Amino acid sequence: MHQPLAEVGKWLRRVVQGYFNYHAVPGNLPSLRSFQFEVRKRWLRVIRRRSQRSGMTWELMDRFAAEWLPEPKILHPYPYLRFDAKYPR
């Protein structure tokens, strides 16, 4: 809560990217978007609690998220493509 926004942004990027690296399988994109939205919502709540007169709005939060948080995308292929190995005989 008391760390600089850039430092928290770097840390959150690593956390969210790690989550995406593990859960980014085909068909899971809505869950990835939901996770990123929840991270943004909680980060906004913490930033707003830092001051009694916080001017942090969703528009500013969108800019922070675009700068620091990765966009969700599918990183793993379908299983039938991963296990379609051809071995020479």
pLDDT, greater one: 60 or 79: 60
Cα–Cα nearest to 67, from 9, 19, 16:
9
Average pLDDT over residues 67-71: 95
- Write down the pTM of the prediction: 0.82
Q: Token pair of 3, please?
A: 């760390």
Q: Token pair of 18, please?
A: 């790690």
Q: Is the pLDDT of residue 81 over 90?
A: no
Render pLDDT for 2-50 as a digit per residue (tens, 0 to 9).
899 999 999 999 999 999 999 999 999 999 999 999 999 999 999 999 8
22 φ/ψ sector (left φ>0, alpha ψ -120 to 50, else beta): alpha
Instruction: Give ∠ CA 59-61-64 in degrees, rounded to 5.
Output: 120
